[in-house]
Amino acid sequence: MTNVAMPEFAHRTVLLDEAVDALDVGGARADGVYIDGTFGRGGHSRLLLSRLGAGARLFGFDKDLQAIATAARIDDPRFAIIHDSFATMRTALAARGVLHVDGILLDLGISSPQVDDAARGFSFRNDGPLDMRMDTTRGMSAAQWLAIETEQQLEKVIRNYGEERFAFQIAKAIVARRAVEPISSTRQLAGIVASAVKTREKGKDPATRTFQAIRIFINQELEDLAAGLSEAYAMLAPGARMAVISFHSLEDRIVKQFFASKVKVEQPDRRLPIRAVDLPQPLMKLVAKMKPSDQEVALNPRARSAVMRVAERLPAGPSAAKGAR
């Protein structure tokens, strides 16, 4: 999510300039209030700060303690980091006297430092403890969850969050293995999945979808996203923009549907005597949909699945319709 990394794990920010450009922070908005809902290693936040005015404020959110440690190195009175999910932004900022903001950026998924650190348990490529928590101070680890969950729920999670067609076979294999020994490492789980998946997608490890599914479930990523989008919309001032970068279809579908719900309005029966000025108006307008360039993907293959959607909150009342055109 960012290009500023902990020393041992480098990371490139996906759509760095494009995301900050999308927030349109120039002019009067340069001294506004902004949210980086997924601080990561600070790439977007640092670029935003370089473009914002002296009177601006930027609040970063992250659940990851390493991200919080990185944020502590930013010596800028305009910036503050909050150790929590972006789904809590309204409550967290109301406590700091902020009710409305001029722009919000959400860069979803996990960062390269999280993936590359075997101790975090996010990846099957290097053996490590099966943790997968973004916030290691809260909740159950993946290993703890795998040890107690029912076969039916394991199948449901792997199928729904991983879009894995062999979810039944994988869940059955997990239950069979845990009866023999605890499943505590990423290599163990990857091996179990590999033995259960009968056909493999070209160029993709058979464990990819299962690891994604468990990570999403353990961190409640889709639930946080749905709640966070509603929180973000409620905080946007008229004319303020929200940019969301997603990395898989489950995330992107939620974002797309949320924006669509704010852009489209149900029109009443045309036979009813309603003045044009009283017709329902859209609440947001779509500004952009963007993917990384071929050049960016060549430099950073992990960017290939990224999609950024940008929408702007419209003012209430009759002028909203004019602004949506």
Residues annotated in the binding site for S-adenosyl-L-methionine, as ranges?
A: 42-44, 62, 86, 107, 114
Quick one: which H or E segment has residue 142? Answer: helix 142-148
What would the two tokens of residue 165 be?
A: 């067609």
From CA 271, how far away is CA 260, in angstroms rounded? 26
Do the beta carbons of residue 150 and residue 41 sit within 8 Å?
no
Binding residue numbers: 42-44, 62, 86, 107, 114
Strand partners, 129: 185
Residues in the chain: 325
DSSP-derived 3-state class of residue 23: coil
Look up tokens 């704010």; give the residue: 262
> Cβ-count burial of 324 within 10 angstroms (0-12 exposed, 13-18 middle, 19+ buried)?
middle
The single-letter DSSP state of residue 130 is S
Q: Which residues contact 238 (CB under 8 A, 6 or more apart)?
A: 313, 314, 315, 316
Q: Which residues contact 292 (CB under 8 A, 6 or more apart)?
A: 14, 15, 300, 303, 304, 306
Nearest to 315 by CA among 232, 237, 238: 238
- Give one DSSP letter per residue of 27-51, joined into a string: GGGGGSEEEES--TTSHHHHHHHHH
Nearest to 81 by CA among 99, 103, 59: 59
